[in-house]
């Protein structure tokens, strides 16, 4: 059981500094040893006008999903905050600006809209900002101070954080922000009588780890760098653009190269060329970009070339909902490209795994000479958490199967037992090869013969089986052991919510278990079958309409699958899953 | 977190007095009910004014107008126009506009496209639309940046400019859009500036009237993501009208001026050739 | 039971006129009322050098697949023909040139390679050509005459055919070819003693129908024209190029327009634009082209725009095997595009169906405002048969749901019960709409709200269910009735072989049935389930490695599926399927 | 029908005397063991001879040579060369070659591409490879037709020519490849003729030596599918060397000559600018 598990939302308009409050909050809580996850919602349209929400979930244990209901809502803009009230918990807290800068009509004041049992505190953010900083722009920091004061978070930790963040700036910015913070904090301590139960206080000391605050894009970029990626080509697209922007800054000093291509076809083409030279190479995009890359995905399957492709999914189809999260590119990732074109598909389930699995993707791609598609999504790409990164295995930095001296003339596609052919890198004398999107025989010549096509098709499939045996972790089971009423299988960014839902279901006495795998192709089918045999019913929750993972699983499993399919433009919460677990188990008994 | 389940936002109307006044002049007939989502000060407002003005001048009927765009801040344009609007895919305004025009030669077809849209991902379509001489008007909203994705290098960003995708400066020499279309055989080639909507309105009028592929390159500031290159004051200094002696019938002269680093404004080139639809009709006749 | 079912192969080198013999043979047999199917194998490489085989299967009943074993092999080139002996039936006939123009070494003479029980006839094609036409170029026509003479085909019918074909040419070409033909025919009649049983003689009179000799590409082009397709844009690619070439000639006189685009993206983009104007529009390509079209496929799903896309499949992945047939784009057709993007997928199973279903595709696309993908393949595209075309329903020529007067301002995406929104065509005053790849609400504005995205996603799925109920034929069952040991489910060009195999299995007393559906999405799941319930085992034969149709079915069916998966670079034969039927049924019992 | 289950065809070697003689001269070191599958008389044989000759002249090591191509008859080229060969996708030789060169600047990278490949489906990549000044040599095998798919109109097919895809004649004005790359800022631009392999060899040598994007447009007859346009005798008449006074350092002059309907042969334009890799190195240095 968690000691603390609180969700705070700060809600304001674009100019209010809303998201900054969320950021500082998470940073400070991280310094104090809490585990936090924050996910920002910002306006979908071009100009930065509109509602911003910083959603922060905080606990003493790792957090992998957003909170379903909110414990405390901090309003910097009342009309927008009224919309947010819908997800405030019964008994939740609202902290609002009792001295806003612009007049708020009575009916659009959040104070008037509270449900029964909610706690309301008014703090004159505007006034306190004016008084403490001679300006109104620090309302957000006043609010931050109020949060610290009201919910028992160490004020000094905040001040240290503010010093770190603003200390370098010229003028006495740091002093000003701290003054605003203090004003809010002290006001709450002095003037308000706390009656609500929301508190960050913990009994057991929190373990402070080497936290790295980052989102999935940063984690993936870092994983790539650490895995020795030295070539990146890409084309901007939400929500993947940041990966390119980070690598553009970080790769050149390491001797790596980044090319902004004219489109996604060119990006994957460049990555293909670089990878053929033996350089670890990657591109990152979103669904529409993957569509344009599919011919090259098949090409890299055919030429057995190691490329890594990140697809940070967003709402679809087509241009879809560029700023909303969704998990609806799974079948695209698995089946894009003409012909039989098997590839490795990996879906990390957390920011930490974005780091680990991006790096692992390079290893798998190189070792098995295959494209690897990493399925992230807008939520993973942009949610920030204080991650504890895993150490990467240096031995995996070089995984190419070079031909032995004496093997000159071996050709590029020798049929081997494990399906992996020796691969000389250009520049090696005596091993000149030619690769092609045409089917080729062992001597690299185009071939149209049934035996060659069959043998090579088998080889391309076989090496993924080798990968499965040697390098793909077995699925991990969570929750109740043995036979259960319900088994839940999740994937990608919503896995965290699934595991949490199952754990809570178990706590509530429900017989449920979860199975997690990060590698979605190739699959450990036997383990899955075993799990499915253990479960009376199977539930697959996912953020898409057609039940894409359920469909993929149903190709391997002969039991009906219940889908929980939502296209709700926001992340899945454990409560979404828990409700469905309850429903299905109740039905059973 | 299921915070925003339901859309209740009402459609926005232009209501203030100033706009009512404009409406009296008739150009607002060409505007949809949607308020443009562009940043305040974006050059695109000027282009919008010019295009709408030209429509009015020509008396184009809104139901006979098809506006096709790609993706980008530019791409949002059809949403703000009254007419049949097609917000196509990134880079694909020209193929879609071509299909529309060939299918319905009686309609007025406009393709609006951004510098990334037209010269980056869509670069393969531009020379072909030009050489076919499809009777559409292609308006390039050139802000020298990827606006919608928040400030990356575009094909017209000057070399060495620092952008979000090139923290050490862009290594690439920018493309010159007018050269591109002249090289491909476009029959109407002009340049305007978002800061001079009146001149642009005249150009747009001519462009729409031209039977064949007309290409209008419009320089436009992105006030949000470009703080060094296409700024209004800087552009005001850089642009200049084509010299009086410029002869738009002279291809060589047009090419010379398009090559130039000076940002000339006006009609660079115009020639009469059968449009794509005319040529296809002709073949159909021969085949019949 | 069939009265006649014979397979003849003519094998030669490119200059030998091999394929012409096949063509005349099929035409003549068609004139006589036989049903015939011919499939040519020609060199895969650029220059026309290499082996050509005209494969002709002839019967008194319709033929939908190639012959598994060959009854008679006619050699115009012995070394190549030796390779073909592998598929000659025990007891089959070889007709070879006993006076070839170039010396054939002993070991490369086909005569020396015959298996036991085969019949061999030598005819001096070269000599007879020289004698009858004063040239060697008519060896192939001599061979044709020999075929007629040896296998009891009416010589006059041939001569009438030759007159029709060559009568128009200047000089006395027709005389010359007939002389060569006659020389071969008479030589056989006079000099050879027929000892083999191969004969085209029939007891029951053959019914002469209005046969149209055509291949699938011709049939599809014709179906498109008849369905009112008036816009085509395409980019050349084997094996679909011919569709564009045919339409380039035929559409302009009908007021239609054909544009050769600069690539496949542009082709589908143009088709998209034309279709949005209300013009029935199509493109045709093969797998690599479909890859490039996938973003637009999703776009047409999102904008609910009626486009028809033909994918004539060839060996894959990537450039693959451009001149070999395969059925490996099914999952691509079903799942390409990001996000949840349902579309109609149709796989005709014969040349006749290429005609009918291409036309139907336009109707479905327009009525349900959706992309329709027609999955053909190299075999269907290029095999010739004497088809009996169905009459098309004129009522289907116009299927657009126009808004009613008074509905002005309705928007493009009104949510309706059947999922189909009213759709005004540009040019209609008062109905100006804007469509987008972004999710849109009912008033055409971009929307990022859960309720809108959910409602619209459901609508896009719902209308396919409407289509299923109103316009998708129920699956058709063949073979044994009631409960059976084995059910075989096929699709596309290999369905013919499947049905034949099942019929033969039934004749041999095996308990098997087949289920056929041409529309592969949406599927009549209940009918399929019912069929599956009737069958102890399920077999799905297809020309791909990963079992793509089996995978698709397994998403709907909870019974293990046996796949017969071949990537053998040539069409499936009933014997391939029959052997597997026998194996599986024997295993059972 | 399972007629061709097993491949037994042996690899083909050049064996005849004439070729042995060539081998002595060393150029055959650059040929693979595969016999080109081009039609007898195809212009591509001449181009092949010229390229191989240039390789020999420059002493390029086969294991340090990377030849990238797209799809088409042209595309088969890497199969006939000794070196690391990449037969990429249709239209994508340039992106793949760019990636290869940026990853391994020490290797010699050649991109060979057809008129359809380079100017049709690949048209979007050409201006960008040119403006980046990637240090690769792009050889355009221009036969004015789609060869591999058996004779459809290509972007360089003259207007009104009848082809398999345009039975009533092509409606489109052809592209001028040299204009395209000059407009985009290529730093080495030349034209050769497959019928004059010796001259072409010299051009190829210079092109490979050039540090930056070098573009060589080669006119080449498709003897099988083009019976009216790029015929040997016709080309022999149409081509002519660039005038003596042509100054390849003069961009304007180069553009003038590239515009011309005359088919000039030789080096149109050459200038020295930092190559893409040099620019990236430079930025890396600044960033370090
Ligand atoms: C296939 C695809 N790739 C990338 C994107 C992301 N994207 C949207 S707009 C844009 C660039 C827009 O730049 P520009 O065309 O110059 O238009 P602007 O926003 O500056 O008006 C990009 C890269 C996309 N929507 N689709
Ligand atoms: C994506 C894709 N579209 C189409 C094709 C079919 N295709 C192969 S080569 C070719 C055209 C080749 O023409 P060109 O580039 O001029 O080369 P040539 O054969 O004339 O040398 C086409 C259309 C393909 N392989 N891939
Ligand atoms: S981001 Fe730039 S281009 Fe886009 S609307 Fe704002 S100012 Fe205009
Ligand atoms: S088809 Fe034309 S281009 Fe291709 S190899 Fe033959 S002659 Fe050369
Ligand atoms: Mg721009
Ligand atoms: Mg060509």
Cα–Cα distance, A384 to A24 (Å, whole number):
12
C312, C23, C351: which is closest to C158 by C-alpha?
C23
User: What pLDDT digit, counting tens, does each position of C16-67 carry?
Assistant: 999 999 999 999 999 999 999 999 988 877 776 789 999 999 999 999 999 8
Q: What is the pLDDT of residues B144-163, one digit of tens each?
A: 999 999 999 999 999 999 99
* Sequential DSSP letters for D161-191: ---SS-TT---SPPP-HHHHHHHHT-SEEEE
**Helix (H), strand (E), coil (C) string for A295-326:** HHHHHHHHCCCCCEEEEEECECCCCEECCCCC
- Per-residue confidence (pLDDT) for residue D9, from 0 to 100: 40
What distance in angstroms lies between residue C529's CA and the mean position of ligand 3's atoms? 55
- Against chain C, the chains showing at least 3 CB pairs within 8 Å are A, B, D
- Largest Cα span, chain A: 86
Query: Cα(B134)–Cα(A278) distance, rounded to whole angstroms?
Result: 45
Contacts of C194 (CB under 8 A, 6+ apart): C150
The alpha carbon torsion through C22, C28, C32, C35 (nearest 10 deg) reads: 30
* A497 contacts: CB under 8 Å, gap ≥ 6: A64, A65, A490, A541, A571, A572, A573, A574, A576, A577
Spatial CB neighbours of A367, under 8 Å, sequence gap ≥ 6: A399, A400, A401, A420, A467, A471
Q: Pull the structure tokens for residue A521.
A: 């192709």
Question: What is residue D13's predicted lDDT score, i.e. its pLDDT?
Answer: 43
Nearest-angstrom CA–CA distance, D204 and A385 = 56
pLDDT band of D3, cuts 50, 70, 90: very low
Helix or strand holding residue D69 (H, E) = strand D65-69
Residue contact C339–A287, C-beta within 8 A: yes
Residue C580: pLDDT band by 50, 70, 90 thresholds?
Answer: very high
Total Cβ atoms within 10 A of residue C189: 15
B20 pLDDT higher than 80: no
**Least CB-CB distance to C451: which of B5, B71, B107?**
B5
Mean pLDDT of D252-266: 96
What ipTM was assigned to the predicted interfaces of this complex?
A: 0.97
* D29 CA from centroid of ligand 4 (Å): 24
Based on C-alpha coordinates, what's the Rg of chain B?
A: 19
Residue labelled with tokens 């004497």: C386
How does residue D15 score in pLDDT terms, banded at 50, 70 and 90? very low
Chain D residue whose CA is closest to C323: D149
Q: Is A151 exposed, middle or buried (0-12, 13-18, 19+ CB in 10 A)?
A: buried
Closest-CA distance of chain D to residue A518, Å: 30
Query: ∠ CA C355-C356-C358 to the nearest 5 degrees?
Result: 70
How many Cβ contacts (< 8 angstroms) between chains A and B? Answer: 89
**D18-38: pLDDT as tens digits:** 566 666 677 778 888 788 889
Give the pocket of ligand 2 (CB within 6 Å). C 235-237, 264, 288-289, 292, 319; D 71-74, 90, 114-117, 141, 143, 145-149, 154
Alpha-carbon distance of B104 to B98, in angstroms, equals: 10
Read off the pLDDT of each residue in C291-300 and give the average, rounded to a whole number.
98
Tell me the nearest-neighbour CA distance from C462 into chain D, angstroms. 37
Q: Are D168 and D243 in contact (CB under 8 A)?
A: no
Q: Return the percentage of chain D with pLDDT > 90, whole number.
A: 84
Closest chain B residue to A245 measured between Cα atoms? B165
- Whether D71 is in the pocket of ligand 4, judged by its Cβ within 6 Å, is no
Q: Which residues contact C147 (CB under 8 A, 6 or more apart)?
A: C8, C21, C25, C72, C74, C95, C153, C184
Q: How confident is the model at residue B13 (pLDDT cuts 50, 70, 90)?
A: very low
Q: Report the 10 Å Cβ neighbour count for C422.
A: 17
Question: Please, are residues C495 and C520 in contact by the beta-carbon 8 Å criterion?
Answer: no
> CB burial class (10 A; 0-12, 13-18, 19+) of residue C265?
buried
pLDDT over 60 at C308, yes or no:
yes
Whether residue D5 is predicted with pLDDT greater than 50 in this model: the reply is no
Nearest by CB to B165, which of A41, A245, A571? A245
- Which pLDDT score is estimated for D237? 95
Residues of chain C with Cβ-Cβ distance to D38 below 8 Å are 46-47
pLDDT at residue B18, rounded to an integer: 57
3-state DSSP assignment of residue B56: helix
Q: Which of C273, C279, C441 sits opposite B96 (nearest CB)?
A: C273
Alpha-carbon dihedral sign for residues A461, A462, A468, A470: negative
- Return the H-helix or E-strand segment holding B139: strand B137-142
Of the residues D46, D141, D146, D147, which should be mutated to test ligand 4's pocket, given the most ligand atoms within 8 Å of the CB? D147
| Dihedral (Cα; D63, D68, D69, D70), 10-degree rounding | 140
Whether cis (ω within 30° of 0) applies to the bond prior to A239 is yes
Question: Strand ranges (DSSP E) for C331-451?
Answer: 344-346, 372-377, 384-387, 434-436
Average pLDDT score over residue span B75-98:
97
Order of strands, sheet of A308-313, starting from the edge strand that comes earlier in the sequence:
A257-260, A231-234, A281-285, A308-313, A372-377, A344-346, A519-521
pLDDT at site B14: 44
pLDDT digits (tens, 9 = 90+) for D52-87: 999 999 999 999 999 999 999 999 999 999 999 999
**What pLDDT, on the 0 to 100 scale, is given for residue D12?**
39
Task: Give residue-wise pLDDT tens across range C454-495.
Answer: 999 999 999 999 999 999 999 999 999 999 999 999 999 999
pLDDT at C588: 60
Q: What three-state secondary structure class fits C102?
A: coil
Q: Which residues in chain A land under pLDDT 50?
A: none
- How many CB atoms neighbour CB B25 within 10 A? 10
Q: Which of residues 450-479 of C touch A (CB under 8 A)?
A: 450, 453-454, 457-458, 461
Tell me whether B153 touches chain A (CB under 8 Å).
yes
CA distances from A68 to A503, A571, A572, A575, A579 (A): 15, 9, 8, 6, 12
Q: What is the pLDDT of residue D4?
A: 38
Q: Quick one: pLDDT at residue B9?
A: 40
Mean per-residue pLDDT, C83-111:
88
User: Ligand 6 centre and the CA of D114: distance in Å?
Assistant: 5
According to the model, what pLDDT value does residue D11 have?
A: 40
DSSP conformational letter for C422: P
Proportion of chain C above pLDDT 90, given as a percent: 89
pLDDT, mean of residues B164-168: 96
B128 to chain D: which residues are within 8 Å by CB? 123, 155, 172
Cα B78 from Cα B101, distance rounded (Å): 16
User: What predicted TM-score, i.e. pTM, was given to this entire model?
Assistant: 0.96
Pairing of β A51-59 and β A5-13: antiparallel
Q: What is the mean pLDDT of residues C529-535?
A: 97
C-alpha A289/C-alpha C292 separation (Å) is 11
Backbone φ, ψ for residue A18 (5° rounding)? -60, -50
What's the CA-to-centroid distance between C411 and ligand 3, angstroms? Answer: 27
Report the C-alpha gap between A257 and A283 in whole angstroms: 12
């Amino acid at each position: 059981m968690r000691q603390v598990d609180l969700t705070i939302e700060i809600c304001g308009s674009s100019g209010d500094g809303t998201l900054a409050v969320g950021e500082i909050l998470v940073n400070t809580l991280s310094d104090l040893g809490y585990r936090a996850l924050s996910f920002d919602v910002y306006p979908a349209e071009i100009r930065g006008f509109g509602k911003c929400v910083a959603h922060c979930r905080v606990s003493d244990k790792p957090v992998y999903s957003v909170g379903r209901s909110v414990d405390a809502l901090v309003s910097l803009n009342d009309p927008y905050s009224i919309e947010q009230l819908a997800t405030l918990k019964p008994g939740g807290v609202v902290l609002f600006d009792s001295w806003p800068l612009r007049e708020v009509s009575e009916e659009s004041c959040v104070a008037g809209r509270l449900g029964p049992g909610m706690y309301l505190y008014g703090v004159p953010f505007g006034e306190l900002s004016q008084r403490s900083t001679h300006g109104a722009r620090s309302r957000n920091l006043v609010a931050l101070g109020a949060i610290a004061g009201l919910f028992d978070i160490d004020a000094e930790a905040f001040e240290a954080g503010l010093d770190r963040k603003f200390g370098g700036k010229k003028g006495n910015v740091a002093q000003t922000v701290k003054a605003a913070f203090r004003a809010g904090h002290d006001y709450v301590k002095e003037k308000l009588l706390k009656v609500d139960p929301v508190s960050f206080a913990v009994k057991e000391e929190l373990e402070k780890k080497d936290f790295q605050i980052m989102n999935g894009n940063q984690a993936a970029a870092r994983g790539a760098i650490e895995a020795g990626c030295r070539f990146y080509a890409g084309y901007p697209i939400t929500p993947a653009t940041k990966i390119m922007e980070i690598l553009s800054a970080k790769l050149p000093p390491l001797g790596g190269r980044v090319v902004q291509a004219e489109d996604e076809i060119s990006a994957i083409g460049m990555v293909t060329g670089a990878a053929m030279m033996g350089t670890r190479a990657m591109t990152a995009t979103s669904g529409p970009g993957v569509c344009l890359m599919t011919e090259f995905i098949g090409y890299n399957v055919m030429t057995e070339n190691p490329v890594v492709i990140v697809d940070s999914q967003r709402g679809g189809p087509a241009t879809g909902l560029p700023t909303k999260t969704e998990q609806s590119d799974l079948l695209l990732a698995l089946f894009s490209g003409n012909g039989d074109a098997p590839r490795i598909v990996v879906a990390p389930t957390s920011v930490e795994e974005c780091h680990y699995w991006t790096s692992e993707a390079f290893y798998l791609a190189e070792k098995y000479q295959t494209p690897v598609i990493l399925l992230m999504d807008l939520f993973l790409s942009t949610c920030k958490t204080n991650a504890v990164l895993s150490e990467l295995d240096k031995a995996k930095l070089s995984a190419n199967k070079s031909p032995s001296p004496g093997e000159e003339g071996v050709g590029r596609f020798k049929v081997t037992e494990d399906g992996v052919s020796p691969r000389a890198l250009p520049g090696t004398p005596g091993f000149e090869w030619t690769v092609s999107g045409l089917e080729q025989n062992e001597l690299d010549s185009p071939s149209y013969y049934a035996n060659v096509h069959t043998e090579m098709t088998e080889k391309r499939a076989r090496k993924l089986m080798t990968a499965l045996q040697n390098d793909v972790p077995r699925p991990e089971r969570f929750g109740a052991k043995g036979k259960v009423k319900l088994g839940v299988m999740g994937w990608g960014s919503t896995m965290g919510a699934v595991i949490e839902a199952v754990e809570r279901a178990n706590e509530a006495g429900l017989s449920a278990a979860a199975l997690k795998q990060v590698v979605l192709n190739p699959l450990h089918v036997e383990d899955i079958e075993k799990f499915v045999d253990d479960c009376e019913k199977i539930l697959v929750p996912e953020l898409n309409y057609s039940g894409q993972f359920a469909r993929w699983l149903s190709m391997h499993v002969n039991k009906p699958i219940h889908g929980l399919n939502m296209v709700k433009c926001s992340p899945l919460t454990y409560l979404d899953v828990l409700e469905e677990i309850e429903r299905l188990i109740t039905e059973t008994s | 977190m299921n915070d925003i389940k339901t859309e209740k936002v009402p459609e926005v109307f232009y209501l203030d007095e100033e706009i009512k006044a404009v409406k009296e002049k008739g150009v607002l007939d060409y505007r949809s009910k949607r308020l443009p989502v562009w940043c305040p000060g974006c050059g695109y407002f000027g282009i919008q004014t010019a295009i709408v003005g030209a429509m009015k001048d020509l008396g184009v009927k809104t139901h006979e107008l098809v506006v096709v765009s790609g993706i980008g801040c530019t791409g949002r344009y059809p949403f703000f126009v009254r007419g049949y609007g097609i917000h196509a895919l990134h880079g694909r305004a020209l193929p879609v506009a071509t299909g529309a025009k060939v299918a319905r030669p009686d309609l007025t077809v406009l393709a609006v496209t951004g510098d990334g849209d037209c010269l980056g991902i869509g670069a393969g379509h531009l020379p072909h639309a030009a050489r076919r001489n499809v009777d559409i008007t292609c308006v390039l909203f050139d802000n020298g940046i990827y606006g919608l994705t928040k400030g990356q290098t575009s094909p017209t960003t000057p070399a060495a400019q620092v952008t979000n995708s090139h923290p050490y400066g862009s290594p690439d020499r920018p493309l010159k859009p007018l050269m591109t279309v002249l090289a491909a055989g476009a029959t109407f080639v002009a340049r305007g500036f978002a800061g001079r909507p009146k001149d642009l309105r005249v150009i747009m009028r001519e462009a729409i009237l031209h039977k064949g592929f007309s290409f209008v390159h419009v320089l436009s500031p992105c006030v949000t993501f470009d703080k060094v290159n296409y700024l209004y004051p800087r552009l005001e200094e850089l642009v200049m009208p084509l010299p009086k002696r410029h002869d738009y019938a002279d291809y060589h002269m047009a090419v010379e001026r398009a090559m130039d680093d000076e940002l000339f404004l006006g009609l660079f080139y115009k020639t009469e050739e059968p449009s794509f639809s005319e040529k296809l009709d002709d073949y159909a006749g021969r085949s019949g």
